[in-house]
A and B are shown apart, each in its own frame.
Chain A
Amino acid sequence: MSRATLQRLGVELPLLPITSVGSLPKPLELVAARARFARGALSQRELDELASEAILFWLQRQEELGLDVLVDGEMYRGDMVAYFATALDGMSLGGLVRSYGNRYYHKPVITGAVRWQQPITVGWWHFAQRHTRRPVKGIVTGPYTMMDWSFDEYYPSRRSACLALATELHKEVAALVHAGARIVQIDEPALSARPAELPLAIEANRILTAGLDAYFITHACFGAFDTIYPGLLQLPTDNLDLAISQSAVDWLAVFRRDPFDKDLSVGVLDVHTHAVETVADVRARIRRSLDLVRPEALWVGPDCGLKTRTVDEATAKLRVMVEAVTAARGELPASASK
C-alpha cells in the first residue's frame, strides 16, 4: 500500500494527512510587486526576495494551522501551465484567454521543439524544505495538461506534443527527486477532458515518472472522472486527488464495481466561493469520503489551489478543514492503523 511507500521514503504522517493542493493567495504586496515586475519597474532578484518572504509566511501559517504536508504556495508562479511554458524552450506565452467568469490566463503556444534546459522549481522547493521539518511537496504540471492547455503550432499531433513534453518534464521531476523531494504532485486537471485520450495521458505520465523513487500524487479537479474510471487506476501514481467530495456521482457505487486501489485525496473546500465552509459541512464531506476508502488511504485538502481567495479567506478555510479533520480523526475506530 502507498503508506508503505511513504514509510520507506522516511515520511511519517498521521491518519487523514492534511495538505493544500498547491497555490495559495499571494499577499497584496507580492501581487503589486509582480505587476511592477511586469512593467519592468522591479528586478527579478527583488521579486524573488518578495516571493521568498511570502513562502516563509505561508510555511509558518500552514504549520500553525496544523497541515501535515506543506506547499510553497507557488508564490513565484502565475498560471500553472504558463509558468512551465515560459521556462521550457519551444514554448511561449500567447494572449489572454478566459477560463471562467472574469478569470483570464496567458495561454501558452508551442512554437518549436520543447526542451528542458535547467531545473525550474527545484530552487524554490529546496528553499521551502529548508525552512520546515514537515515534508514539502514538489509540484509539476503534467504533460497531458501542458499539451491540452496550450496552443500547438509545431507538433503534427496531440500525441507527439504530449510525449515530447513528458520526456522533457521528466527531467524536472527527476531534478526534484534528486534534490530530496519525497512527495511529488503532478497536476493533471485536463485528465478527463478527452476520455479517449486517457491511454495517452497514462503513457505520458509513465514517461514522466519512470525510474523515480517518490510518493506521487496526481491532482485533477473539476472533471468528469467517472468517464475515465477505472482506466484512471492505470496512472503511475500512489495517490489520486480527484476533488470528488461534492460530486453528484455516486462514487461509492463506482468503487464497489471497480475497487479503488490507490490512496485518495478528496477536496473538501470549494476554492471558488468566498464563503467559508462550516466545520460540520467539512466533517460531513470527510465522513462520506471515509465510506469510499479505508482511513489509511485517505488524504484531505481543498478541491484545488486556493490562489483565487484572499489570504484571510484561505486561512479561514484551511482552519475549518484542519478542525474538521481533527474531529474526524477522533471518530476513527481504534483499529485504524497509524
Chain B
Amino acid sequence: MDLRLANHSSYPRIGPSSHEQRLRRAHAARERDEIDDTALLVIEHSVMTEIIGEQTAAGLDLATDGQVRWADPVSHLMAQLSGVRLNGLLRLFDTNFYYRQPVVTARLTRARSQLVTDYRHAQSATEIPVKPVLTGPYTLARLSLIEPRAYRRYHELAEDLSVIIAHEVRDLVAAGATIVQLDEPAICTGPPEDIRLLRRLFEPIYDARGGAEIAIATYFTDSDPLYPQLNSVPADVVAVDLTTSTSLAETIADTGAAKTLALGVVDGRNTKLETPALVAEVLDRILRRYALDTVYLQPSCGLEFLPRDRAREKLKLLGAIRAAFLGGGES
C-alpha cells in the first residue's frame, strides 16, 4: 500500500518572524492605497512559494497553495461571480474564524477562471503535485444568503454552483492538476437527505475531471453518520477528519472503503502534538481490511487555524506517523 503524505488545504500565511509577516504588512499597505493589486500579488505569490517549500521540506507527496490569496473559504470564490454581493461577517462553523457572507442577488455567472493563475504559480514552485482545493457547491450554497428573485431554494443555487465549479475543475485539469479537492463540511450539518443532492452536485464535477482525481473532504463535524453515503458520491477520494469523531475510525474499519481514503490524522485545530505510535495503532485498525492501493495521510482540516510554527510541526508529524505505521521507529 502506498501511504502518501498530503496537505489538506489552507496554511498559515504569516509566521513569527518579520519576514514571515510581509503579507500582513502588504495587505495593510494595499488598504491604505500605498501599493496596487499587482504589487500585492507579487508578495502573495512569494508567500505561496515559501509555504510550498515548507511542505516539500516536511516530506509531503502532495502540496496545496495554502489558499494564500483567499480572504475566507466562502467569499473568495463567490465574490468573483456576478450576481453576488458580500454581507457582514459570520462565524465559520464552530471556529473563531469569520467569513463575509455572500448574498446572491441574481442568477450566477462566471466570467473567467478563478484559481488557475494561483495553481500555475504554485505548481511552478515544486516538483511534487499541487492539489487545488475549492469549497464545494453544497457548502457555498448553504453559507450564502439567497434573495428570492435569484433562487427559490439553496438546492437551485447549489446546482448552478456545481456547473460553475465543474468549469473551474476542467480549467484546472487543463492547466495540469492531477487531483482537485472539494471541501464540503456543510454536508455534515445539513439535513441527512441532502446527501442525494450532494451526489447530483458532484456529477458534472466528476464528468469534468478528465484524467484527474476528484476528492471530497468533510471536517469540523463528525462525519461518521454519513460515511457510508460519502462512498457513493461521484468522487475518487474521500477525505475525512478522524480527530473530531470518536467512532469514525471503527466505522471505517468495519465497513471498509469504496474509494481511496485521505485520513485526517493530525488535528488542524489544536496545537497539541499527536503521538505517532498512538495514531499508527488507529491506522492499523482502519487499514487492516483496506483493499485499495493508496491512502493519503493529512491534517484533519486546513492548517490556517494554527500558528505557522505549529503547522510546520504538524506537517512533519505526518512523516513520523507514516514511519511508526510502517514500523520505521520514528515515533
Q: Does A104 contact B (CB under 8 A)?
A: yes
Contact of A96 among B96, B97, B270, B307 (CB under 8 A): B307
Closest to A94 in B: B307
Question: A149 touching B16 by the CB < 8 A rule?
Answer: no
Contact of A97 among B24, B27, B90, B306 (CB under 8 A): B306
Q: Does B99 contact A (CB under 8 A)?
A: yes
Interface segment, B7-15, B77-85, B176-184? B7-15
Q: Does A223 contact B (CB under 8 A)?
A: yes
Closest to B90 in A: A222
State how many angstroms separate the Cβ of A216 from the closest Cβ of chain B. 23
Q: A100-B72, A102-B24, A272-B89 are in contact. Are A222 and B14 (CB under 8 A)?
A: no
State how many angstroms separate the Cβ of B79 from the closest Cβ of chain A. 13
Question: A99 touching B98 by the CB < 8 A rule?
Answer: yes
Number of interface residues of B (CB under 8 A): 34
Interchain CA distance A95-B271 in the complex, whole Å = 10
Contact of A152 among B91, B270, B307 (CB under 8 A): B270
Q: Does B145 contact A (CB under 8 A)?
A: yes
State how many angstroms separate the Cβ of B51 from the closest Cβ of chain A. 14
Number of interface residues of A (CB under 8 A): 29
Q: Which residues of A contact B14 (CB under 8 A)?
A: 96, 98, 104
Residue from the set B31, B71, B272, B308 with the largest chain A CB neighbour count within 10 Å: B272
Interchain CA distance A193-B91 in the complex, whole Å = 8
Q: Which residues of A contact B15 (CB under 8 A)?
A: 95-96
Q: A96-B16, A101-B71, A104-B24 are in contact. Are A190 and B96 (CB under 8 A)?
A: yes
Closest to A192 in B: B91
Interchain CA distance A276-B270 in the complex, whole Å = 38
State how many angstroms separate the Cβ of A281 from the closest Cβ of chain B. 14
State how many angstroms separate the Cβ of B275 from the closest Cβ of chain A. 13
Q: Does A270 contact B (CB under 8 A)?
A: yes
Closest to A151 in B: B271
Task: Give 5 A-B pairs besides A95-B308, A224-B91, A270-B88 with Cβ atoms closer than 8 angstroms.
Answer: A97-B304, A100-B99, A102-B24, A222-B89, A222-B98
Q: A151-B270, A153-B272 are in contact. Are A102 and B145 (CB under 8 A)?
A: no
Interchain CA distance A151-B272 in the complex, whole Å = 8
Q: Could you pull out 5 A-B pairs where Cβ atoms are within 8 angstroms?
A: A96-B16, A100-B97, A100-B100, A153-B272, A222-B91
Q: A94-B271, A151-B272, A222-B90 are in contact. Are A99 and B27 (CB under 8 A)?
A: no
Closest to B308 in A: A95
State how many angstroms separate the Cβ of B174 from the closest Cβ of chain A. 32
**Chain B 256-273 near chain A by CB (<8 Å), digits 1 or 0:** 000000000000001110
Q: Which residues of A contact B99 (CB under 8 A)?
A: 100
Question: B310 touching A102 by the CB < 8 A rule?
Answer: no
Question: A95 touching B310 by the CB < 8 A rule?
Answer: yes
Q: Does A41 contact B (CB under 8 A)?
A: no
State how many angstroms separate the Cβ of A307 from the closest Cβ of chain B. 15
Contact of B97 among A99, A194, A223 (CB under 8 A): A99
Interchain CA distance A137-B293 in the complex, whole Å = 62
Q: Does B227 contact A (CB under 8 A)?
A: no
Q: Which residues of B contact A194 (CB under 8 A)?
A: 94
Interchain CA distance A190-B31 in the complex, whole Å = 29
- The A76-112 residues at the B interface (CB cut-off 8 A) are 94-102, 104, 107, 109
Q: Does A28 contact B (CB under 8 A)?
A: no
Q: Does A336 contact B (CB under 8 A)?
A: no
Question: A98 touching B304 by the CB < 8 A rule?
Answer: yes
Q: Which residues of B contact A193 (CB under 8 A)?
A: 91, 94-96
Q: Does B28 contact A (CB under 8 A)?
A: yes
In the A-B complex, the 8 residue pairs with the closest CB atoms: A95-B307, A100-B98, A102-B27, A151-B271, A193-B94, A153-B272, A194-B94, A149-B96
Contact of A248 among B24, B31, B145, B310 (CB under 8 A): B145
State how many angstroms separate the Cβ of A287 from the closest Cβ of chain B. 20
- The B1-35 residues at the A interface (CB cut-off 8 A) are 12-16, 21, 24, 27-28, 31
State how many angstroms separate the Cβ of A154 from the closest Cβ of chain B. 9
Q: Which residues of A contact B305 (CB under 8 A)?
A: 97
Question: B94 touching A98 by the CB < 8 A rule?
Answer: no
Closest to A272 in B: B89
Interchain CA distance A107-B145 in the complex, whole Å = 30
Q: Does B330 contact A (CB under 8 A)?
A: no
Q: Does B254 contact A (CB under 8 A)?
A: no
Q: A94-B307, A109-B271, A153-B271 are in contact. Are A102 and B28 (CB under 8 A)?
A: yes
**Chain A 166-193 near chain B by CB (<8 Å), digits 1 or 0:** 0000000000000000000000011011
Q: Does B207 contact A (CB under 8 A)?
A: no
Q: Which residues of B contact A101 (CB under 8 A)?
A: 27, 71
